[in-house]
Amino acid sequence: MNTPATPADELQTILQSAYASSAGNTSGALADYIPELAKVVPDSFGLAIASATGSLCAVGDAEVPFTIQSVSKAFTYCMAIELAGREAVLARVGVEPSGDAFNAIEFDPHTRRPFNPMVNAGAITVAGILYDRLGDGAFDAVLDRFSRAAGRRLDMDEAVYSSESATGHRNRAISHLLLATGAVTNRVEPIVDLYFRQCSIRVTAVDLAWMGATLAHMGENPATQDQVFDLRAVRDTQTVMFTCGMYDYSGNWAFDVGIPAKSGVGGGLVGVVNRQLGIGAYSPRLDAKGNSVRGVAAFSALSDELGLHAF
């Protein structure tokens, strides 16, 4: 990897060229299974890179807000490991790629646990672990931690939250199955509500870049010097992002781009280049797997140009 030697102006030029080479791709469709998500401007596109030394470059619609959706799963997993310990979390949710869609109603046939924390079943289990520890204060704790990772106060999009809560029957069904298998041990409704709320937190590509940089920089936000996450939990989080962060595209992603990442149906994508960079992308047109079309293209270009692949 050559990023430490890459000066900020050169990084900005490379970011601009990744933007330019991906911007023309207008394929893909907005997520519309949550009605409110279909109301965003379809052709918004923003990219941002934050470095572990505290510098930022951005291009396009990098300050346009959108809901974090499944990108939240990486960060709540990190919190759960810190709060409950890795063994307790591992006992309830696995770390094996599922090869299934994000909303699959599928558990590991051997352990009956959700396959991993990056699919809905696993993320709802993680929400259950946070709710067990923090009760009704869980959402405020999540919002606070995400805000510290982003380096500014974030908020929740009420309209998306209401829309998701009104239509999230599949997630409620998954929650009840988790209760039946013992992965979730508490009342289902506050747990699934926490999950809907965490998905509705509003961020920008710049926020995602800083959140990624906080993971890259061993849990410390490099701009604010706030130690947001515990280092051991950061290692586990990055590992699961690497193997499972892009749903049933995770193998292709590891092969092509080669960095830990997490996508969301709001069109956000965060990447972590360990010890070096956080990368945030926003473009809401999604491919068939639920990943941002231009986000994936831009990350692929950046990985090639900057030599980011782990191997």
Question: 265, 273, 293, 296: which is the annotated catalytic residue?
Answer: 265
Catalytic, 249? Answer: no
Q: What binding mask, one character per residue, do residues 267-296 give for ligand DON by CB under 6 A, x or -?
A: -----------------------x------
14 or 74: CB nearest ligand DON? 74
Q: With contacts defined by CB under 6 A, how many residues of the chain interact with ligand DON? A: 11
Footprint (CB under 6 A) of ligand DON, residues 208-267 = 263-265
94 or 290: CB nearest ligand DON? 290
Q: Does position 164 bind ligand DON by CB under 6 A?
A: yes
- Least separation in angstroms between residue 274's CB and ligand DON is 23
Under 8 Å CB-to-CB from 236, ≥6 apart: which residues? 77, 78, 81, 86, 95
- Least separation in angstroms between residue 192's CB and ligand DON is 10
Catalytic, 70? Answer: yes
Catalytic, 72? Answer: no
Q: Does position 69 bind ligand DON by CB under 6 A?
A: yes
- Residues near ligand DON (CB under 6 A) are 69-70, 102, 120, 164, 171, 199, 263-265, 290
